[in-house]
Structure 1
Amino acid sequence: MNNYLCDYCDQKLATMPITLPCGFVVCLDHLDIKYNSFNCIVCYNHIIDFEKCLNMPKNKFNFKNFETQIYIDPLYTNNNFLELKNRYDKWNKLSYYQINLSSNLKSRLFYFELLPNGEIIGSSDSLIKIWDLKTGNVIKTFRGHSSNAHNAKILKNGNILSSSADLTIKIWQRETEKCLLTLTGHTDWVNCVVELPNSFICSSSDDHTIKVWDLEKQLCLMTLQGHNNYVHRIALSGENELVSASADRTLKIWNLTTGECIRTLIGHQNWLHRFDILNNGDIISCSDDKTVKLWDKASGKCKHTFTGHNDSVLHVKIFDNREVISCCKDGNVKIWDLNTGECIRSFRAHEPSLSGIFIVNNKQFLTSSYEHTIRIWNL
């Protein structure tokens, strides 16, 4: 469509093309959508009913297949023109600023988080590092894991928590970079760690289990068993509840007081990687089956399946409580409307695969690649 000229401005069609009832094609930006009816801007021989114009088959097709993949519901009502225009503008103005984190280029950035002070913590091969986000320079390096570190977090007391393919969990003193404690007990890679109240932490592993640890006593208090494959991610969903995602294609909700599985969410057709939890407790998950699913926590049923990715979906996050950001193995990112399940925007975020995503606020989010690039996306 970019090879055609707008019949109004005689320039290349730079935005969404709209075919008018008289047959002329113009850029959407030229139409004054504050009013449902207005004079044709090209031939002046008829009145354009904007709602009927947008529902013409050619325009509905263009909206759904426009090159930026903005999707607008093909059935319009009189009160939603400005809302549709605002959403279109919002995601088409998406821009980013790139930070290159200084590191060994042969290493891979497996995981990262943005800290409250604006620094980045991440796992790079067997090392845990903290970078200055403004300069990309390494501030701290924690050495001690003997294999790839999969997860790293800051504890409330300021210490660093990490997990690794060396089967261990480590606690580090931030200032001295010294290892304070090593927890052993898992029999396979430790993929994820989360902090619980009262100096407890929780870990998930390729050994199919989840463990609850007392850091003060340096003991495993409880082992949660129920998954029959790798447990990739865990997260708190309440004071005494934990959600886990596994390669056994299920999500599980656990009672941390009793260690019992409360509910199992079944529906994905391949490994689950990550999930996010909505304010109402519902869960959004992503999988190697190329889909994203929205789950009702209370019933355990899938409320909607988001389809459109062409490869494994490795990351998913809720944005601004109304949109879903999903990141694909091929480097593509999709923005979905949480309520309708429709894709609002698709774009290539990194070359090659993305290694993580972090939501800053309702105007910004961060993505990372294995090659230590961080992109700060602004709306």
Structure 2
Amino acid sequence: MTFGRVSDLGQFIRESEPEPDVKKSKGSMFSQAMKKWVQGNTDEAQEEMAWRIAKMIVNDVMQQAQCEQPPEKVTKIFLWDPATGNQIGRVLSGHSKWITCLCWEPLHINPECRYLASASKDGSIRIWDTLMGRCDKILTSHTQSVTCVKWGGDGLLYSSSQDRTIKVWRTQDGVLCRTLQGHAHWVNTMALSTDYVLRTGAFEPAEATINPQDVSGSLAELKDKAQQRYDQVRGKEPERLVSGSDDFTLFLWRPAEDKKPLERMTGHQALINQVLFSPDTRLIASASFDKSIKLWDGRTGKYLTSLRGHVSAVYQIAWSADSRLLVSGSSDSTLKVWDAKTKKLAIDLPGHADEVYATDWSPDGQRVASGGKDKCLRIWFLLTVKAMLRPSA
């Protein structure tokens, strides 16, 4: 994940003028903002100096773009055995630029989980057959980098892009079903109302074990159990999807049925880094560069409250399995655990020496993992937090 692009300078550039089209000839392309500035100055010496500076800037940008070819490894996908840590199968290659997101086929659709979807800065989504080690489908309709991909439980694939759109694909044949439009800038993040049950499949978090050998049952039995859990969470309505953007807004969609949003969700004062449905689908949480986390109604998109306490940008969030607690990681080097019921800070988790870029809650709800700029991975045991939150007898 890259956060450098949203520095104060980067925000100023994007908010003031459109980015220049660098597809034109090298050294002769100038932004409209520079042209207006130069044309507004009558002093010839000042004008000549401005044009020289402009040419230097453009040449530098073009040289940087030419040098920023991704290393070969970052365009490939490696498969690993989680029990041994060894690489397995073939290396999957085909993307021409960095891979931004990966998503496995849900267990209840295919108990072998052999298919994997990848999104890339090259603007494409690829569906891979990991057993055969080859690309099965290439989905090309986005015009800019694909930022996120989600494999839904009803056989649909959702992709978001810097082209400001979300596309809905049919995974069976790769057909584009519809395009969701409404955001005014890059779509950074998406979440499905069924994300948690798709992630955990047939396995109940309360019964989780740490040994893969403890998993019992045939593939057919696991598939049936995963289907039951998915149907229970999904209910009679189709999956809902929420998207977050650089335009400071979120949209709530019912993408399997309609290309019009259910709700436009406003309130953040800076770009959205991450959105998540709670495991019970009742709440949506959004993290932003405005230093806040906001909670929304998971069915209507109605604003509920803001969680404030971080003194810098909030990068990532994660829900506990019971939907009671939310953990957030921030540029201020701390994690914070929030009580979703009281909507207050439950506990501070200092310890990182620098920005916290990633955090996740274990499906059994007992541990939180975090990683950051200090190159440290920390594991937090939060049973004591839950004990603190239990009402006294």
Normalising by the smaller structure, the TM-score range is: 0.5 to 0.7
Checking the alignment, whether the CA contact within 8 Å between 1:317 and 1:359 is kept in structure 2 is no
Does the C-alpha gap of structure 1 residues 199 and 349 become closer, same or farther in structure 2, counting only changes over 3 Å?
same
* Counterpart for residue 172 of structure 1: 128
Q: Following the alignment from structure 1 to structure 2, what is the Cα–Cα distance between the partners of residues 272 and 203?
A: 17
Question: What SS does the aligned partner of 1:354 have?
Answer: strand
Q: How far does residue 197 in structure 1 lie from its aligned partner after superposition?
A: 4.2
Instruction: Write out aligned runs for 1:360-371 (5 A).
Output: 360-369=363-372
The yes-or-no answer on 1:129 pairing with 2:78 is yes
* Correspondence for 1:234 among 185, 190, 209: 190
Aligned letter for 1:169?
A: I
Q: How does 1:48-59 map to 2 (within 5 A)?
A: none
Is the CA contact (8 Å cut-off) linking 1:326 and 1:335 kept in structure 2? yes
Q: Quick one: distance in 2 between partners of 1:331 and 1:175?
A: 41
CA–CA distance in structure 2, aligned partners of residues 149 and 363 of structure 1: 31
Match of 2:97 in 1: 147
Q: Please list the CA deviations of residues 194-252 of structure 1 after superposition, one character each: whole Å capped at 9, or x if unmatched.
A: 11345321111111100011233322110011111111122222524221111111111
Instruction: State the AA in 2 paired with 1:284.
Output: A
CA contact (8 A) 1:336 1:345 kept: no
More strand by share: 1
Q: Is the 8 A contact 1:148 1:165 kept in 2?
A: yes
Could you give the per-residue CA deviations for residues 301-343 of structure 1, whole angstroms, max 9, x where no partner exists?
3222111212221111112422110011354211112223332
Q: Which amino acid aligns with 1:187?
A: T
Are 2:328 and 2:359, in contact at CA under 8 Å, matched by a contact in 1? no
In structure 1, the partner of 2:351 is 348
> Who wins on radius of gyration, i.e. which is larger?
1
Q: 1:280 to 1:211 in 2, by over 3 A?
A: closer
| Alpha-carbon separation, structure 2, partners of 1:205 and 1:371 | 30
Q: SS of 1:208's equivalent?
A: coil
Tell me the TM-score normalised to structure 2 length: 0.59
Q: Is the 8 A contact 2:125 2:146 kept in 1?
A: yes
Residues 13-92 of structure 1: pairs in structure 2 closer than 5 A:
none
Secondary structure of the 1:258 match is: coil
Separation of aligned partners in 1, 2:87 and 2:373: 16
1:211 maps to what in 2? Answer: 167
Contact 1:265-1:300 within 8 A present in 2 as well? yes
Whether 2:221 is the aligned partner of 1:271: answer no
2:365 and 2:168 map into 1 onto residues whose CA distance is: 33
* Matches of 2:85 and 2:332, distance apart in 1: 25
* Residues 175-200 of structure 1: per-residue CA shift (max 9 Å, x gap): 34322221111011111111134532
CA–CA distance in structure 2, aligned partners of residues 335 and 309 of structure 1? 11
Q: Report whether the alignment pairs 1:188 with 2:144.
A: yes
Q: Which runs of 5+ in 1 are unaligned?
A: 1-107, 109-123
Q: 1:220 to 1:372 in 2, by over 3 A?
A: farther
Compared CA separation, residues 129 and 356, structure 1 to 2 (3 A): farther
State how many pairs are aligned: 257
Distance 1:202 1:211 in 2: 6
On the 8 A contact 2:104/2:151 being kept in 1, the answer is no
Structure-2 separation of matches of 1:350 and 1:263: 39
Change (3 A) 1:235 1:300: closer
| SS at 2:189 equivalent | strand
Over 3 Å counting, the alpha-carbon distance change for 1:269 and 1:154 in structure 2 is same
Alpha-carbon distance change, 330 to 165 in structure 1, aligned in 2, over 3 angstroms: farther
Q: Residue 357 and residue 339 in structure 1: after superposition, are their counterparts in 2 closer, same or farther (change >3 A)? A: same
Judging changes above 3 Å, is the alpha-carbon distance between structure 1 residues 367 and 133 closer, same or farther for their aligned structure 2 residues?
farther
Given the superposition, is the C-alpha separation of residues 164 and 350 from structure 1 closer, same or farther in structure 2, using an over 3 Å criterion?
A: farther
Residue 134 of structure 1: how far off its partner (Å): 5.5
Residue identity matched to 2:243 = S
Cα 1:315/1:334, change in 2 over 3 Å: same
Q: Sort the Cα spacing of 1:337 and 1:202 in 2 relative to 1 into closer, same or farther, 3 A.
A: same
Kindly tell me: are residues 198 and 323 of structure 1, through their superposed partners in 2, closer, same or farther at Cα, counting changes over 3 Å? closer
RMSD of aligned C-alpha atoms?
2.7
Q: What code does the residue aligned with 1:241 have?
A: R
Q: Describe the SS at the equivalent of 1:269.
A: coil
User: Unaligned regions of 5+ residues in structure 2, if any?
Assistant: 1-69, 194-233, 383-393
Letter in 2 for 1:125: V
Task: Please say if residues 269 and 290 of structure 2, whose CA atoms lie closer than 8 Å, have aligned partners that are also in contact.
Answer: yes
State the identity %.
32
- Alpha-carbon distance in 1 for matches of 2:351, 2:92: 32
For 1:325, what is the secondary structure of its paired residue? Answer: strand
* Paired residue secondary structure (1:348): coil
Higher relative contact order (CA 8 A, sep 6+): 1
Give the number of the structure whose residues are more often helix, by fraction. 2
Question: Which residue does 1:50 correspond to in 2?
Answer: none
Do the aligned partners of 2:119 and 2:148 also contact (CA within 8 Å) in 1? yes
Answer whether contact 1:204 1:234 (CA < 8 A) is retained: yes
Checking the alignment, whether the CA contact within 8 Å between 1:163 and 1:193 is kept in structure 2 is: yes
TM-score, length-scaled by structure 1: 0.61
Change (3 A) 1:125 1:355: farther
- Residues 366 and 131 from structure 1, CA distance in 2 versus in 1: closer, same or farther, beyond 3 angstroms? farther
Question: Which range moves more in the overlay, 152-161 or 348-357?
Answer: 348-357
Match in the other structure for 1:306: 307
CA separation of 1:147 and 1:280: change in aligned 2, threshold 3 A: closer
Distance 1:178 1:365, change over 3 A: farther
